[in-house]
Amino acid sequence: MNKWIGMGRLCKDPEISVSTSGTQIAKYSIAVDRKFKREGQPTADFFNCTSFGKQADFVEKYLKKGTKVVVTGSIQMDTYTTKTGEKKTSTNVMVEDVEFAESKSESKKSDDGFLNIADSILEELPFS
C-alpha cells in the first residue's frame, strides 16, 4: 500500500504547465513541520507535489505561497542521471486530493496572531 498524507504550507506559488496531450500539470512544494525540534527550533520536511487535470486547475486558481493544505497521495521515486553523469533520486507526491487546512480568515492573521480588520468594517459594527 502506497498512501501519503501531509499537512503543510506551500513554499512558493505553484508552477503550472501543460503536457503534450493538453493535460494541465501543477507542481508545488509543501513544508510539513516535524513534531520534534532541533536545538529549540522548529524543523520541517519539504515535499514536492504534482497535481493533474481539474485538480491542477484548482491549485492554480486558489493556492499560493503560504496557503496551508492537506495533501493525500502516493509517493513516487524517480531516478535520473545528471549532465555530469551522476545518478540522482527524487521523491514526489502524486496528489490524489488537496484541501484547504484553514479558513480564509485564518490565513490572513498577522504575525501577532490577530486578524487584520479593515477600518471601514468598524463603522458597520453595532457596538462601536
Provide the whole-model pTM: 0.74
- Measured between alpha carbons, how far is 22 from 88 in angstroms, rounded to an integer? 29
More confident residue, 114 or 3: 3
- Measured between alpha carbons, how far is 15 from 94 in angstroms, rounded to an integer? 15
Q: Which amino acid, residue 123?
A: E
List, for residues 12-43, the tens digit of each pLDDT value.
Answer: 999 999 999 999 999 999 999 887 776 767 68
- Measured between alpha carbons, how far is 24 from 115 in angstroms, rounded to an integer? 35
Please give the helix or strand (H or E) that residue 110 lies within, else none. none
- Measured between alpha carbons, how far is 38 from 101 in angstroms, rounded to an integer? 25
4-122 folds as OB fold (Dihydrolipoamide Acetyltransferase, E2P) (2.40.50)
**Residue 73 near residue 97 (C-beta atoms within 8 A):** yes
* pLDDT category of residue 110 using cuts at 50, 70 and 90: very low
**How much is the mean pLDDT over the chain?**
85
pLDDT, average across residues 104-115: 54
pLDDT of 39 = 74
Q: pLDDT > 70: what percent of the chain?
A: 78
More confident residue, 127 or 72: 72
Position of cell 503550472? 16
pLDDT of 124 = 52
Strands (E), the chain: 4-10, 15-18, 24-38, 41-52, 68-81, 87-100
Domain edges within the chain: 4-122
Q: Which of 23, 78, 88 is nearest to 56 (CA)?
A: 23
Position of cell 524543523? 43
Task: Tell whether the model's pLDDT for residue 109 goes beyond 70.
Answer: no
pLDDT of 108 = 54
Taking phi over 0 as left and psi of -120 to 50 as alpha, with beta for the rest, 39 belongs to left
pLDDT of 95 = 97
